[in-house]
A and B are shown apart, each in its own frame.
Chain A
Amino acid sequence: DTGVSQDPRHKITKRGQNVTFRCDPISEHNRLYWYRQTLGQGPEFLTYFQNEAQLEKSRLLSDRFSAERPKGSFSTLEIQRTEQGDSAMYLCASSSDTGANVLTFGAGSRLTVL
């Protein structure tokens, strides 16, 4: 078990560019979550998947954001036409569908939009 992996760990981009983040969950976990965390704040829920199905999306997830989990394993989060307000840490977590559904988090992908 290698935990939840996120790539890249840091991304600096110019306003208007597109960025994509990847998350590899713990292999036996069928639920996968994306959160956004800004400085001095707690993580804010964006979306989650059960296997390949996207079951819930936050209103924070504007039309410029899209998440996929095509084969029920890894997931990608794409941000189109980035804005300075998108600068944040993007956290991925996974959980199994048994027991208390405890989320295990990755180290995060930090986005800086110039």
Chain B
Amino acid sequence: AQSVTQLDSQVPVFEEAPVELRCNYSSSVSVYLFWYVQYPNQGLQLLLKYLSGSTLVKGINGFEAEFNKSQTSFHLRKPSVHISDTAEYFCAVRALDSSYKLIFGSGTRLLVRP
């Protein structure tokens, strides 16, 4: 079975500061990895995904993430955050077996302060 751990339930940061949201996963098979963002009262929106190839992937809104297979991590980063980045961020994993479902972490609330 797969699992995703997001250790930080909330990350406060000042506007224009850099941020890193941590994600670690567990799986006995190869995986695809995803980051989704959820704004209040909305569904989840895909930020970026890692399928294969370069371990550094870039997504929308200036976010990027790096896949580290040895540390089973997929941390999300942004060099300079804006107030509008305040939202809930979810890391998810899909095992490359017969199932197509995503398994999500518990989420990290990014709170950007002026």
Q: For the complex, what is the distance from the CA of A41 to the CA of B41, rounded to whole Å?
A: 14
Residues of chain B within 8 A (CB-CB) of A95 are 100
Chain B interfacial residues counted at CB < 8 A:
26
**For residue A45, which residue of chain B has the nearest CB?**
B101
Q: C-beta contact mask, A19-56 vs B, less than 8 Å → 1, else 0?
A: 00000000000010101000011111100101000001
**15 sample A-B contacts, Cβ–Cβ < 8 Å, listed by A number:** A42-B104, A42-B106, A42-B107, A43-B90, A44-B104, A45-B102, A48-B100, A48-B101, A56-B101, A91-B44, A93-B44, A101-B32, A102-B49, A105-B43, A105-B45
Tell me if B99 and A56 are in contact (CB < 8 A).
yes
Residue positions of B touching A, CB distance < 8 A: 4, 6, 9, 32, 34, 36, 41-46, 49, 51, 90, 92, 94, 99-107
Determine the chain B residues whose CB is within 8 A of the CB of A50 once the complex forms: 100
Cβ–Cβ contact A41 & B107, under 8 A? yes
- Which of A31, A40, A44, A50 has the largest count of B CB atoms less than 10 A from its CB? A40
Q: What residues of chain B lie closer than 8 Å to A103, measured between beta carbons?
A: 46, 102
